[in-house]
Amino acid sequence: MEEINNPIIMVRMGEQTLKGRNRHRFERAVLEHLQWRLERFPHVQFEASYGRLYIHLNGESYIDIAERISRTFGIFSFSPVNRCELSLEAIRETALRLMKSLKDKPTTFKVSVRRVNKDFLHDSQSMNNLVGGYILQAIAGLEVDVHTPAVELRIEIREQHAYIFCEIIPGLGGYPSGTNGKAIVMLSGGIDSPVAGWLALKQGLELEAIHFHSFPYTSERAQQKVIELAEQLSCYSRSIVLHMVPFADIQTGLKELGNETLLITLMRRAMLRITTELGRQRACKAIITGDSLGQVASQTLPSMSVIEQAAGMPILRPLIMMDKQEIVSKARMIGTFPVSIQPYEDCCTLFVPKSPSTNPNPSVINRLEQRAAWLQGTMDEAIRNTVTVTITERMARETDSYF
């Protein structure tokens, strides 16, 4: 990506433009999120229009601003644009200047005009010819190729101005942050759960995170790894509230029940009970997990069925039908993969039995939990001793450690 001289970025809204009466709410949410994300650029100005948002750079860095736009949900695409008045002469001259300013001089081009303003004198096809012919006469060696042009010169004729541009940068799509409710993601130190959290953010969920640690059986560095994953997710959201739950006493107590093959099932059920309680305290309406069908013993259909019975709110599983390579590819794309593969164990890997059950018996599970009279009290204590931190993208850059 290169710096440009264009003073305006045109932002096109994503799925929320299809939401009828809710469209204005979603567009306002995108605007507010971008205003927050670009608050470090004091000269930037915003101009909202139907289905569009115009960002006036006023001398600020296009590269830095475009990078932040590219990490904002609810945006279908964006373009650096030149704007001019609604006259054929102004449009021709602006289009010619843009073509001449291109660093890589094209040999072929086409003009594509979209006339939103139906009161404009010339229709789209006429404008294609009027602008294209003008540019052909002015630039020697340039030819028209309507099928595979080196450059597609695009012109949008809107209500008050015309916008001329050559580049369309894809956005993340999805819905703007927080427009579809609030959920809590069970964030381990692995590859899967951060991807699940990212997909939840993309669908417009405000996200909090919960992590179960087994200090002193696991190191503080394992906790810091999870914080780094939350930091990476915070690059796509205003903030991530992270709850660090001490889980070692619960794990050791469950292990002493003596049925090692069911240990993971019992652990996961305890985690869901704690997550439900903390989620309710934080007004969350669902739990997000990184489950992928059949990937490990606790993610078979029988296991998930038994485990989810302990939850007191809906469980959403964004990865449930994805294979490992798909998940890894997404983790690389969002920037969590290098952190996830750091060699610091989480509480589940430390206590995993040699042969965990893939088809746990609900009756046996219930009997084991009834024997564990201490369990509810120990879970309540874990909730009381939970450490909660709020992580933002800015704090991620400025803080080495939260502990």
Q: Quick one: CA dihedral 325, 318, 345, 399, positive or negative? A: positive
Residue 20 DSSP class? G
Helix H or strand E encompassing 137: helix 124-138
What local confidence, expressed as pLDDT, does residue 399 receive?
Answer: 42
What local confidence, expressed as pLDDT, does residue 351 receive?
Answer: 63
Q: What are the E-state strand segments in 188-313?
A: 206-213, 240-246, 287-288
* CA distances from residue 211 to 98, 224, 320, 379 in whole angstroms, order as listed: 51, 11, 20, 14
Cα–Cα dist 92/320, whole Å: 52
What local confidence, expressed as pLDDT, does residue 367 receive?
Answer: 94
What local confidence, expressed as pLDDT, does residue 214 receive?
Answer: 86
Strand partners, 241: 208, 390
What local confidence, expressed as pLDDT, does residue 118 receive?
Answer: 93
Q: Which pTM was predicted?
A: 0.88
How does strand 206-213 pair with strand 240-246? parallel
Strand partners, 391: 240
Cα–Cα dist 36/387, whole Å: 27
Euclidean distance between the first and the last CA atom of the chain, given in angstroms as a whole number: 37
Q: List average pLDDT for each run of 10 residues in the chain, which is 403 residues long.
A: 68 70 83 92 92 92 94 94 96 96 93 95 95 96 95 95 96 90 95 97 96 82 91 91 95 90 94 98 97 88 95 97 96 95 69 79 95 96 96 56 41
Across the chain, which distance is largest between two alpha carbons, in Å? Answer: 88
